[in-house]
Amino acid sequence: MLRPRIIPCLLIRNKGLVKTTKFKEDKYVGDPINAVKIFNEKEVDELIVLDIDATAKNQEPDYQMIKNLSAECRMPLCYGGGIKTIEQAKKILSLGVEKVAFSSAALENPNLLKELSEQVGSQSVVVVLDVKKAFLSRRYEIFTHNGKKKSDLNLLESLKKFQELGIGEIVINSIDHDGVMTGYDWNLIEQVYPEVRIPLTILGGVGSLEDIKKLIQNYKIIGAAAGSFFVFKGKYRAVLISYFNQVEKQSLMNKTD
């Protein structure tokens, strides 16, 4: 049985580590390599790195940056940003990255996911869906290009489709809760959780240990991801890279076995 993973998510822009709020107001928080070194010491479960410029600016993945991150990283690494082809994905995996993540390319060319999963294994193929609650509705809409481009695809139908293609994991990222640190979007989780039969990771909104504890213990979610929670400290959001100690981590897992 797969155990839950608690996953820091790092955002890269112009080779620097940044953090956003609702996909806006990005704040520079340091050198991503230094952050990886600290997370190595903290023995984190896994790391997600997303280059938020690559797709939005129609750029190739920065292979040298990815190589540098992978060489430093001592935990499983998932990279996303600018990947549009099987060749690009394979090159990134050859650099030591365990998983490649797709967002806009997954919506535009879903067969790419099927072909890549067949060639490299489903465990290496991840879909990241950035979603936002529709105005005056319980429905959620999918966005790409840093939340600037809305897709016409239905979220729940898309979840079913991606799973049928044979991918290994789905990451649901709440735009509304990004960087706010007031808790996950529980209504969103209630909608997507029953529809997903493969490893599911939730991202966006963590403000306390209790948020992650509730997610893992109530939903048996495989991946509990967070960004601001692991890079900011206190009400003034001072930059401080952190992670749970072993006692805290064990308290999160006690009721999941």
Q: Backbone phi, then psi, for 3, in 5-degree steps?
A: -90, 150
Q: What is the DSSP letter of 123?
A: G
Rounded to 10 deg, the angle between the 155-164 and 110-120 helix axes is 30
Q: Select from 115, 105, 103, 63 the least CA-distant residue to 84.
A: 105
pLDDT of 1: 58
pLDDT of 84: 96
pLDDT of 252: 77
Contact 83, 105 (CB under 8 A): yes
Helix (H) or strand (E) holding 6: strand 5-13
Query: Three-state DSSP class for 105?
Result: helix
Question: pLDDT over 70 for what percent of the chain?
Answer: 98
Q: How far apart are CA 147 and CA 107, in angstroms?
A: 14
R_g over Cα of the chain: 17
pLDDT of 255: 56
Reported as a single tens digit per residue, the pLDDT across 199-208 is: 999 999 999 9
Q: How far apart are CA 202 and CA 191, in angstroms?
A: 12
CATH number of this structure's domain 5-253: 3.20.20.70
pLDDT, the chain, mean: 94
**DSSP class per residue in 202-243:** EES---SHHHHHHHHHHH--SEEEESHHHHEETTTTEE----
Residues annotated as part of the active site: 130
Reported as a single tens digit per residue, the pLDDT across 3-52 is: 899 999 999 999 999 999 999 999 999 999 999 999 999 999 999 999 99
Q: How far apart are CA 174 and CA 207, in angstroms?
A: 14
Confidence of residue 246 (pLDDT cuts 50, 70, 90): confident
pLDDT of 257: 47
Has residue 238 got a pLDDT over 50?
A: yes
- Give how far the C-alpha of residue 206 lies from the chain's centroid of Cα atoms, to the nearest Å: 13
pLDDT of 234: 84
Beta bridge partners of 170: 127, 200
Has residue 191 got a pLDDT over 90?
A: yes
For residue 153 the two structure tokens come to 């695809």
